[in-house]
Amino acid sequence: DTGVSQNPRHKITKRGQNVTFRCDPISEHNRLYWYRQTLGQGPEFLTYFQNEAQLEKSRLLSDRFSAERPKGSFSTLEIQRTEQGDSAMYLCASSSLRGRGYGYTFGSGTRLTVV
Amino acid sequence: SQQGEEDPQALSIQEGENATMNCSYKTSINNLQWYRQNSGRGLVHLILIRSNEREKHSGRLRVTLDTSKKSSSLLITASRAADTASYFCATDDDYKLSFGAGTTVTVRA
């Protein structure tokens, strides 16, 4: 297992288009998280899954955002009708309930640029 | 809103020197974690300190936690050029991490 994998690494899209990002967590991790990070800031929590259930969503996650984790494995984050303010790094992380207290494993992120 | 705040915002030191950065937070925590982020990359977990611990070491890293002051510090000893990165503290309230804005550390050769 090589860690948390995110695809694509970079995405440039025109305003108004839809984009979808994928995250493959560490296979034995049952928790998966999405964060957003803008330049010069720390990551901000968007949402998290425990297995396939989406248990918490931040108010940052507007109606244009949707996340899924079918079968409790990989996850997708879709942004509809993108806006320039959506430009950011989108980070995925996973953790294990059994290993609570051992930190989260982050992917390398997907950098979104909306032009 | 961000739970933690790091201080200073930026730090420039000579290779071999020690680097100290501080983190303050607002609410009670289960644990506090420190992460490193190289430019444009994901975050790497460095060390976790539980709310009932006061000090923890990992290699060249030393973390302290003062829950009465709601503050933590990260010390990197004998810094190297490879330590150049942004460092973030994050509080863990069981299902999410809340990060500060980070301290950018530059280690000059």
Residue B80 C-alpha, separation from nearest chain A C-alpha, in angstroms: 23
Mutation to test the A interface, candidates B96, B98, B99, B103, most A Cβ within 10 Å = B96
Specify the pLDDT at position A61. Answer: 84
Per-residue pLDDT tens digits for B49-66: 999 999 999 999 999 999
Average pLDDT (A79-108) is 88
A66-71: long-range pairs with CB below 8 Å, 24+: A67/A34, A69/A32
pLDDT value, residue B2 = 52
Neighbours of A44 (CB within 10 A): 20
Q: What is the pLDDT of residue B1?
A: 46
Averaged in consecutive runs of 10 residues, what is the pLDDT profile of chain B (109 residues)? 78 97 91 92 92 96 96 97 96 84 95
Taking the Cβ of residue A41 and every Cβ of chain B, the question of whether any pair is shorter than 8 Å is answered with yes
